[in-house]
Structure 1
């Protein structure tokens, strides 16, 4: 039986973590160990797959958790894993170092880039990430980039990397079984929805500013934003400044985003930058009317969605208003065809093909 290891900073299900969870659940006939570098904080990784074993560190710091994990690996008998998966630069570098030191043994080590690091970070954090690339990444057997743009950006900033590592572009998957929502959301008002972590990169401040303009044409509408994050207080302050307390709802984390996406008038991705927004795939699985900023060049490859400029509330409001006027009923055919190619089975098959 195959032994598979996934190493993850924490158990919060962001986009990268959702993909790793899909991958873990795909391997129903393998022993899957999921190692978190922090203590348990929620039930988001709860699964019916009994072959998955979740392991946590007893700390709220992933850096301290990395030390604990190294100590655990040093003291315990060495396991050899058929496949090791990671999807965060720090963790990928860390696992690469552990492999180099002999703490971990593997047949194949696969990393996945979760964002465009060199456009998103600077200062000490970027310095640390560069070191992790240098120290750990050469031990990868395969590095997955979500888009061609991400791969080109990575090579431009680390010219050595494609000479030492097999880098391939494999588009993000979606588990279409999860999109079949049995939960209903009842709303007695029309609404626009956005979803994601409340962080600056997601551009919810821009969406809120755009919504102020939309209300001039559609005064009965409300804006619902799903998710939690460090920007919540800033967004609440902006909502108050724009006198939108009764119109913008910060709903927080919900158990089923698909139910909201299904009945929204428009689903919106307002991000400033993305590797590729997984939430966009979730949205087009439920709704024919979807707007996204051009947060990555790959957005233009998706047929049927409306595209706005990044960092531009006027462009976003105009694009949303335009989408509300148009008939998008035929988009379900375009979206279904696009999503069928993004199945988790196809994603895993592409990885296995590259490892042959």
Structure 2
């Protein structure tokens, strides 16, 4: 069995987990580690750039079938299990890193009794994120059989402590991406920035309503949203309903660093999160952030009125007031931005990658 690493993820779309995978691939490849990537969806879904020499296995691709009933769902997932186990065995790598939600469950099941070291990488908070009733039960039953279970927030580890032995739980923070291009997004109006997949978790509906309230005192401002996802059409309707067509712009999936550098603030209104990469990235660029109190991984990193502003989740009025506060007090915004930048220095690439490196060391298990 080779001392290499195989990553497993649904797709290489533009999420935070995919950014972490790409970063790890580049890091370990540069150090001579043999690395492979297995995805269920094909390259047409890719949003994250990968090294051209990476070994890539696509299990479903564009022809992936959707189940119309429970029996078909069982059949398709059993077929996925067989294909996944076969692909991992052909690659012959010693360690397998499945990322996110149902992919964790499928990979642990597929590799049960295979002799592989499965390092399950949870990038959200299972205590708040539901995968659906059946998948929640499966997650509870099988996650304990991974060799290690990592999370990027202490809150997620606490949530999983009810069904995973403490000896298997490992806190592994996300490395912060760095961008040295110094490019800047040019806007003739001050703007609020929001970055993330367009889904219900990110609470863009709350943000849009709060921004409409914010405009009553700040009519010259814009809101720029970076991301793609299933809520796009719904959010477009909300933009029209709130009369925001002239000041809210959805730019799709874009690298956000040019926007971080010129945004007056970045808002993460999520209903729940683990440790959101985009918040850390914005802070590293000294962009002041507003986050909700339901983002467990940010506790101790974003401290209200010191390194950011913290508001209750789903609270439109509180979010609007927080945005008004930063817009009207440039001194406060600058102080928060600078303090946030200093706070996230601990997530430097070297420090974080040392923790990840321990997980591929063959021999004694990782010390907690």
- Choose the corresponding residue for 2:154, options 129, 148, 157: 148
Q: 1:120: Cα distance to partner?
A: 2.7
Q: Secondary structure at the match of 2:44?
A: coil
Q: 1:332: Cα distance to partner?
A: 5.1
Q: 1:41: Cα distance to partner?
A: 1.6
Q: Secondary structure at the match of 1:109?
A: strand
1:119 corresponding residue in structure 2: 128
Matched, 1:130 2:134: no
2:311 corresponding residue in structure 1: 308
1:81 corresponding residue in structure 2: 93
- 1:222-257 C-alpha deviation (Å, 9 max, x unpaired): 111111111111111111111111111122112x21
Query: Structure 2: which 5+ residue stretches go unaligned?
Result: 67-72, 360-364
Q: 1:272: Cα distance to partner?
A: 1.0
- Choose the corresponding residue for 1:71, options 65, 79, 83: 83
Q: Is the 8 A contact 2:175 2:348 kept in 1?
A: yes
What is the alpha-carbon distance in structure 2 between the residues aligned to residue 53 and residue 2 of structure 1? 15
Q: Secondary structure at the match of 2:352?
A: helix
Change (3 A) 1:333 1:320: closer
Matched, 1:347 2:352: yes
Change (3 A) 1:83 1:37: same
Change (3 A) 1:270 1:66: farther
What is the alpha-carbon distance in structure 2 between the residues aligned to residue 109 and residue 120 of structure 1? 22
Q: 1:288: Cα distance to partner?
A: 3.3
Q: Is the 8 A contact 2:185 2:259 kept in 1?
A: yes
1:337 corresponding residue in structure 2: 342
What is the alpha-carbon distance in structure 2 between the residues aligned to residue 278 and residue 2 of structure 1? 29
- Choose the corresponding residue for 1:139, options 132, 136, 145: 145
Superposition TM-score, scaled by structure 1 size: 0.86
What is the alpha-carbon distance in structure 2 between the residues aligned to residue 291 and residue 283 of structure 1? 11
Q: 1:118: Cα distance to partner?
A: 4.1
2:362 corresponding residue in structure 1: none
Alignment map for 1:269-280 (pairs within 5 Å): 269-280=268-279
Matched, 1:3 2:4: yes
Query: Structure 1: which 5+ residue stretches go unaligned?
Result: none
1:60 corresponding residue in structure 2: 64
2:70 corresponding residue in structure 1: none
Matched, 1:210 2:210: yes
Q: Secondary structure at the match of 2:112?
A: helix
2:176 corresponding residue in structure 1: 174
Q: 1:77: Cα distance to partner?
A: 6.4
- Choose the corresponding residue for 1:33, options 32, 36, 56: 36
Q: Is the 8 A contact 1:23 1:344 kept in 2?
A: no
Q: 1:209: Cα distance to partner?
A: 0.8
Q: Is the 8 A contact 1:197 1:229 kept in 2?
A: yes
Superposition TM-score, scaled by structure 2 size: 0.84
2:326 corresponding residue in structure 1: 323
Change (3 A) 1:75 1:293: closer
What is the alpha-carbon distance in structure 2 between the residues aligned to residue 193 and residue 313 of structure 1? 17
1:17 corresponding residue in structure 2: 18
1:227 corresponding residue in structure 2: 227
> When the two structures are aligned, how many residues end up with a matched partner?
342
Q: Is the 8 A contact 1:308 1:319 kept in 2?
A: yes
Change (3 A) 1:141 1:348: farther
Aligned residues: CA RMSD: 2.6
Q: Secondary structure at the match of 1:41?
A: helix
